[in-house]
Amino acid sequence: MSPDKKLSPDDWARAALDAVAAGGVEAVSVEGLARSLCVTKGSLYWHYADRSALITAALELWERIGTIEIIERLDAIEDPAARLRALFELSIGDARNGPVDSALAARVDDPVVGPVVERVARRRVEFLERAYRDLGLGPAAAAASARIAYSTYLGHFQAAQALRDDPLLGGPAPRYMRRLLHAMVESPRSAH
């Protein structure tokens, strides 16, 4: 960060989100961020009430750029199959989001993290459910498909991280994942 520049709340939130991406929520250290922003830690308390408020702001940033804006863009695609394929491309293509998503999803019990994670999960599943309905599925099948798709997405990144350099799970878009997701667009009923 360049020195001699007054900071905005957003500067702090962005730095905190970077820290979350790098090392999870517990990597958000007030002293560490202050150092990287070239201020003393007292500065934080001008912009935010405390560390929790900073984390909330960082996660709301994550919610906006990783969920709300993406959904808005995808909703412009009329054809539901193309819409789903575009989502899956975005999801497995970007190796940066998945790990953050699954790291945060694992912390729903945290009172600071929980509310945002719940909102994000609901928004995403609702998007998937809508796409599956547009695809012609009935309410029950669409609901099930949406949940299976979302849990498949989260599970993949968790398993891939745990089985670090597994040849089947490794890489940005492993073949088995492409096939799985492809099947969930072309014949979603086969999954349940």
Looking at 10, 23, 40, 118, which residue binds DNA (CB under 7 A)? 40
The single residue among 42, 164, 165, 190 that binds DNA, judged by CB under 7 A, is: 42
Q: Are 128 and 70 in contact (CB under 8 A)?
A: no
Identify how many contiguous H helices and E strands the chain contains and give both numbers.
10, 0
Question: Residue 10, interface with DNA (CB under 7 A)?
Answer: no
CA distance 86 to 3: 41
Contact of residue 173 among a second copy, DNA, none (CB under 5-8 Å per partner type): none
CA–CA distance from 89 to each of 60, 82, 86, 190 (Å)? 23, 10, 5, 21
Q: Give the interface segment with DNA, choosing from 42-50, 72-80, 125-133, 143-151 (CB under 7 A).
A: 42-50
- Give the footprint of a second copy on residues 106-125 (CB under 8 A): 106-110, 117-118, 120-122, 125
Q: Which two tokens stand for residue 166?
A: 């597994």
Site residues for a second copy, window 142-161 (CB under 8 A)? 143-144, 147-148, 150-156, 158-161
